[in-house]
């Protein structure tokens, strides 16, 4: 697909989003609220891609998940944009020129340039390839949304990912990566719009630039990770909860509920957000009816993927409630496996005891990378909030500081953090990104006020400037990998081989295996790269092909491969090759050795690949290992049970 | 509070804010030590 079609698809999706979102917001708030032009454009866009994701679920489950459906939906959205154009005026204000403004614009432009470089490069992030992009691609291949019999990533909510499918079908991979870049940027523009309501424009731009260049935004903004997009939903919901005080009509609170619902529909943590926001609405004046309206709207916008899970498993947030609901064993999940899965998940994701002390210390432990497994270095939120804290406290002592624009987002962010921390779910800090703009929306105005009060405005500027300088350096380092691709002569395959361990073999497989083949792989991030049907072997999110270390029954394993229609295996030498060095010889490895000896698993080809803990640092001289990959055929006539 | 006391309190708060800022930025930069060591193995810290 040509680059022109890709760009046209992204422009069409963006216009359709603004059209659909604008029409909905106008209908809900048009008579009761007067929103500034920039707020209208941003809120419309964010609402619009939520609506688009919501709408596309239905043709998907009905088996009409094709490009013509996406183009038709987009055309309807563009029609809405044309109809609603009068509600979307152009910003009349022009900021006055200054050196500081020029510097800030230069920083934002640099960040934008690096994001664009990432936007035109193929996707390389593991989670993105594994399921954020991988599953929409599978849905498109099948022409329908089907139920993934795989826990955690397979049964996650996927509202925003429906728009990924649309971008991929309409404009190919380039449209997909440009679309994620565009939706990622929308959050920052919305934060700017929210901040400048109560903070001078220059400060708003500085804080927005610091958010835009924060490691978590840098990491997740341009790929398929959904936290940055959930942040837009969260911020939009908070803005409209604040706005509802100006109106007795239910429109603004219903709109806020829709935004919260889009977050619910995109990520399970949206449930925590919707609960936190609903509680804040309930505790305000006229609370109960408004909280009811908010809750109903959130449920309507966010129910789809929970209903989908419930229909297929009986557990709306499968497998979190599987044990608690006492659900019966199925072919893809059992009580015994559920116990194993939850224990293994906890060992990999819960690194801090859920104590009050850790609850208080967590922000510092994560931000200063004191517990590396929280991933506060590469994908953290940065230290802007810490820089702002003392001045924000100084600003908070004034009575005027206790206004809705500050209290509402702060209360929601605080409740979300508290519930999230004690819920026993993953403790990686990037999962707090959705409420980070809410924290900034509260801290930034307080810090500006505090600095003004004690005469430390220059100190605040120096602090924010230092944060920007550090983060911009990180942005440049991050961009080197993508500049290599954009300005060099590298092909897509060469870029992927450099960035995704095992990609070389997938390229060969795509070119040489017949379309009817099914390849099972133990490397989940390869899922998106396969052009033929693939199956991800995971030790604790699926049990249809049991690869737990203790699984050692040859006959059962061969039967499971056959049941899944698996014709080939593609995995590291450590997993598949007889006699290769392994960390430990588990019953599973001994079983593989026996199956290789018997000819059931026949090694057909070997590939060499690179593996590094950091793609970015690999470009700058950081170390990498050479990893051997093996493609093997499954010779069922030589497998146990067939002889 | 007299005007003099107010000014003194504001100066103290400014000083504390600057100390805080230096500590936060210093600790943040220090947290990148493993990354710097990866790029520059000869880095002394």
Task: Name the residue with tokens 């002592």.
Answer: A397
Judged by DSSP in three states, A633 sits in strand
Q: How many Å apart are CA A531 and CA A516, to the nearest integer?
A: 11
Q: How many Å apart are CA A575 and CA A639, to the nearest integer?
A: 18
A168 and A13 Cβ atoms separated by less than 8 Å: no
Tally the residues of chain B.
45
What's the pLDDT band for A581 if we cut at 50, 70, 90? low
Is residue A623 scored above 70 in pLDDT? no
| Residues in chain B closer than 8 A to A387 (CB atoms) | 21, 24-25
Judged by DSSP in three states, A4 sits in helix
Q: How many CB contacts within 8 angstroms connect chain A with chain B? A: 67
Do A621 and B29 make contact, defined as CB atoms within 8 angstroms?
no
Do B17 and A386 make contact, defined as CB atoms within 8 angstroms?
no
Q: Which residues make beta-bridge pairs with A607?
A: A629
User: b/e per residue, A438-457, with b = 16+ CB within 10 A?
Assistant: bbbbbbbbbbbbbbebbebe
Q: What is the pLDDT of residues A341-392, one digit of tens each?
A: 999 999 888 999 999 999 999 999 999 999 989 988 889 999 999 999 999 9
Q: How many Å apart are CA A121 and CA A133, to the nearest integer?
A: 14
Q: How many Å apart are CA A161 and CA A180, to the nearest integer?
A: 10
Element housing A630 (H / E): strand A625-634
Q: Which residues make beta-bridge pairs with A601?
A: A634
The minimal CB distance from B14 to the residues A389, A459, A614 is found for: A459
What are the C-alpha distances in Å from A603 to residues A502, A507, A569, A577, B21?
16, 17, 9, 8, 58
Is residue A643 scored above 60 in pLDDT? no
Please give the residue of chain B at the shortest CA–CA distance from A387. Answer: B21
Is residue A615 scored above 70 in pLDDT? no
Q: What is the pLDDT of residues A237-289, one digit of tens each?
A: 999 999 888 778 889 999 999 999 999 999 999 999 999 999 999 998 878 99
Q: What is the pLDDT of residue A585?
A: 75
Structure tokens at A264: 């619910």
State mean pLDDT over A460-483. Answer: 93
Please give the residue of chain B at the shortest CA–CA distance from A367. Answer: B28
Do A621 and B39 make contact, defined as CB atoms within 8 angstroms?
yes
Is residue A220 scored above 60 in pLDDT? yes
In angstroms, what separates the C-alpha of A614 from chain B's closest C-alpha? 10
State mean pLDDT over A623-635. Answer: 88
What are the C-alpha distances in Å from A127 to residues A110, A136, A188, A225, A547?
26, 13, 22, 7, 20
Q: What is the pLDDT of residue A617?
A: 67
Q: How many Å apart are CA A229 and CA A263, to the nearest integer?
A: 8
Quote the mean pLDDT of chain A. Answer: 93
Percent of chain A beyond pLDDT 70?
A: 97
The minimal CB distance from B17 to the residues A368, A390, A621 is found for: A390
| Residues in chain B closer than 8 A to A454 (CB atoms) | 10, 13-14, 17
Q: What is the pLDDT of residues A98-145, one digit of tens each?
A: 999 999 999 999 999 999 999 999 999 999 999 999 999 999 999 999
Element housing A634 (H / E): strand A625-634
Which among A585, A595, A523 is positioned nearest to A559, based on CA atoms?
A: A595
To the nearest 10 degrees (0 to 180), the angle between helices A159-195 and A99-120 is 170
Q: Does the CB of A476 have a partner CB in chain B at under 8 Å?
A: no
Q: How many Å apart are CA A223 and CA A216, to the nearest integer?
A: 11
Is residue A613 scored above 90 in pLDDT? no
Is residue A518 scored above 60 in pLDDT? yes
Residue A584 phi, psi dihedral angles, 5° rounding: -155, 145
Do A463 and B25 make contact, defined as CB atoms within 8 angstroms?
yes
Tell whether ipTM is more than 0.85. yes
How many helices (H) and strands (E) would you count in chain A? Answer: 26, 5
DSSP state of A435: G
Alpha helices by DSSP H, listed for A121-158, are 126-127, 134-142
The minimal CB distance from A386 to the residues B10, B24, B35 is found for: B24
For chain B, which residues lie within 8 Å of any Cβ of chain A, measuring from their own Cβ? 10, 13-14, 16-18, 20-21, 24-25, 27-32, 34-35, 38-39
The minimal CB distance from A456 to the residues B17, B28, B34 is found for: B17
Q: How many Å apart are CA A69 and CA A466, to the nearest integer?
A: 48
Q: Does the CB of A389 have a partner CB in chain B at under 8 Å?
A: yes
Structure tokens at A571: 């995995």
Residue A519 phi, psi dihedral angles, 5° rounding: -105, 125
In angstroms, what separates the C-alpha of A209 from chain B's closest C-alpha? 17
Do A459 and B10 make contact, defined as CB atoms within 8 angstroms?
no
Which among A538, A209, A504 is positioned nearest to A344, based on CA atoms?
A: A538
Residue A603 phi, psi dihedral angles, 5° rounding: -65, 125
Q: What is the pLDDT of residue A622?
A: 65
Which among A377, A368, A378, A367 is positioned nearest to A439, based on CA atoms?
A: A367
State mean pLDDT over A191-212. Answer: 95
Is residue A618 scored above 90 in pLDDT? no
Is residue A539 scored above 60 in pLDDT? yes
Is residue A534 scored above 70 in pLDDT? yes
Task: Name the residue with tokens 């009811």.
Answer: A292
Q: Does the CB of A350 have a partner CB in chain B at under 8 Å?
A: no
Dihedral sign computed on CA atoms, order A187, A189, A192, A194 = negative
DSSP letters of A182-210? HHHHHHHHHHHHHHTTTS-HHHHHHHHHH
Q: What is the pLDDT of residue A509?
A: 96
Percent of chain A beyond pLDDT 90?
A: 82
Residue A321: CB atoms within 10 A of its CB come to 16
The minimal CB distance from B35 to the residues A370, A463, A617 is found for: A617
Do B13 and A376 make contact, defined as CB atoms within 8 angstroms?
no
Listed range (A446-450, A458-462, A559-563, B10-14) with the worst mean pLDDT: B10-14
Radius of gyration of chain B measured on its C-alpha atoms? 18
Please give the residue of chain A at the shortest CA–CA distance from B38. Answer: A622
Q: What is the pLDDT of residue B45?
A: 65
Residue A79: CB atoms within 10 A of its CB come to 15
A269 and A320 Cβ atoms separated by less than 8 Å: no
Is residue A621 scored above 70 in pLDDT? no
Q: What is the pLDDT of residue B10?
A: 86
In angstroms, what separates the C-alpha of B2 from chain A's closest C-alpha? 15
| Residues in chain A closer than 8 A to B18 (CB atoms) | 456, 459
Is residue A234 scored above 90 in pLDDT? yes
The minimal CB distance from A383 to the residues B14, B16, B28 is found for: B28
Please give the residue of chain A at the shortest CA–CA distance from B41. Answer: A622
């Amino acid at each position: 697909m040509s680059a022109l079609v890709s760009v046209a698809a992204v422009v069409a999706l963006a216009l359709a989003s603004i059209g659909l979102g604008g029409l909905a917001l106008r209908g809900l708030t048009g008579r009761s609220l007067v929103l500034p032009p920039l707020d209208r454009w941003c809120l419309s866009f964010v609402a619009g891609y939520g609506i688009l994701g919501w709408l596309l679920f239905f043709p998907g489950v009905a088996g009409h998940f094709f490009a013509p459906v996406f183009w038709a939906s987009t055309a309807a959205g563009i029609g809405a944009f044309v109809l609603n154009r009068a509600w979307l005026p152009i910003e009349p204000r022009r900021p006055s020129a200054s050196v500081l403004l020029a510097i800030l614009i230069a920083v934002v432009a640099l960040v934008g340039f690096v994001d664009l470089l990432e936007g035109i490069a193929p996707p390389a992030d593991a989670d993105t390839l594994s399921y954020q992009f991988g599953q929409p691609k599978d849905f498109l291949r099948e022409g329908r949304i089907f139920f993934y019999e795989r826990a955690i990533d397979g049964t996650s909510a996927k509202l925003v990912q429906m728009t990924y499918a649309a971008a991929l079908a309409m404009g190919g991979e380039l449209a997909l990566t440009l679309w994620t870049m565009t939706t990622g940027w929308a959050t920052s523009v919305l934060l700017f719009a929210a901040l400048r309501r109560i903070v001078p424009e220059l400060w708003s731009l500085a804080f927005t630039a610091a958010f835009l260049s924060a490691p978590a935004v840098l990491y997740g903004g341009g790929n398929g990770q959904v936290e940055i997009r959930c942040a837009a939903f969260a911020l939009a919901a908070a803005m409209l909860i604040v706005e509802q005080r100006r109106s007795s009509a239910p429109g603004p609170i219903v709109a806020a509920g829709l935004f919260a619902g889009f977050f619910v529909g995109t990520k399970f943590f949206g449930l925590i957000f919707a609960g936190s926001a609903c509680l804040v609405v309930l505790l305000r004046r006229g609370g109960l009816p408004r909280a009811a309206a908010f809750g109903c709207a959130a449920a309507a916008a966010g129910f789809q993927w929970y209903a989908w899970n419930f229909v297929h498993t009986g557990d709306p947030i499968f497998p979190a409630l599987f044990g608690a609901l006492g659900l019966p064993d199925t072919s893809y999940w059992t009580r015994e496996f559920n116990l194993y899965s939850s224990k293994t998940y906890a060992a990999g994701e819960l690194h801090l005891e859920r104590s009050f002390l850790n609850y208080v210390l967590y922000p510092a432990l994560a931000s200063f990378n004191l517990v590396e497994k929280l991933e506060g270095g590469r994908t953290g939120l940065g230290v802007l909030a810490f820089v702002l804290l003392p001045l924000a406290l100084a600003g908070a002592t004034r009575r005027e500081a206790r206004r809705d624009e500050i209290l509402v987002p702060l209360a929601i962010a605080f409740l979300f953090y508290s519930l999230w921390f004690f819920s026993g779910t993953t403790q990686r800090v990037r999962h707090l990104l959705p409420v980070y703009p809410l924290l900034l929306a509260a801290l930034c105005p307080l810090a500006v006020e505090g600095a003004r009060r004690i005469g430390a405005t220059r100190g605040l500027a120096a602090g924010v400037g230092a944060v920007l300088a550090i983060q911009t350096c990180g942005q440049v380092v991050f961009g080197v990998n993508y500049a290599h691709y954009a300005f060099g002569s590298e092909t897509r395959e060469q870029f992927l081989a450099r960035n995704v361990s095992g990609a070389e073999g997938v390229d060969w497989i795509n070119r040489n295996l017949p379309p009817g083949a099914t390849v099972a792989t133990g490397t989940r991030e390869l899922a998106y790269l396969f052009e033929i049907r693939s199956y991800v072997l995971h030790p604790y999110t699926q049990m249809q092909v049991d690869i737990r270390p203790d699984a050692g029954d040859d006959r059962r394993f061969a039967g499971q491969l056959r049941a899944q229609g698996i014709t080939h295996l593609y995995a590291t030498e450590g997993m598949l090759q007889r006699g290769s060095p392994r960390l430990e010889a588990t019953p599973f490895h001994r079983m593989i050795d026996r199956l290789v000896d018997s000819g059931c698993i026949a090694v057909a080809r070997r590939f060499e690949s690179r593996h590094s803990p950091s793609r970015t640092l690999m470009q700058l001289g950081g170390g990498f290992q050479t990893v051997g990959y093996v493609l093997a055929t499954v010779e069922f006539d030589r497998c146990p049970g067939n002889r | 509070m007299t005007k003099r006391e107010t000014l003194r309190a504001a100066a103290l708060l400014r000083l504390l804010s600057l100390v805080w800022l230096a500590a936060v930025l210093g600790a943040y930069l220090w947290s990148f030590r493993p990354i710097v060591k990866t790029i520059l193995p000869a880095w002394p810290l």
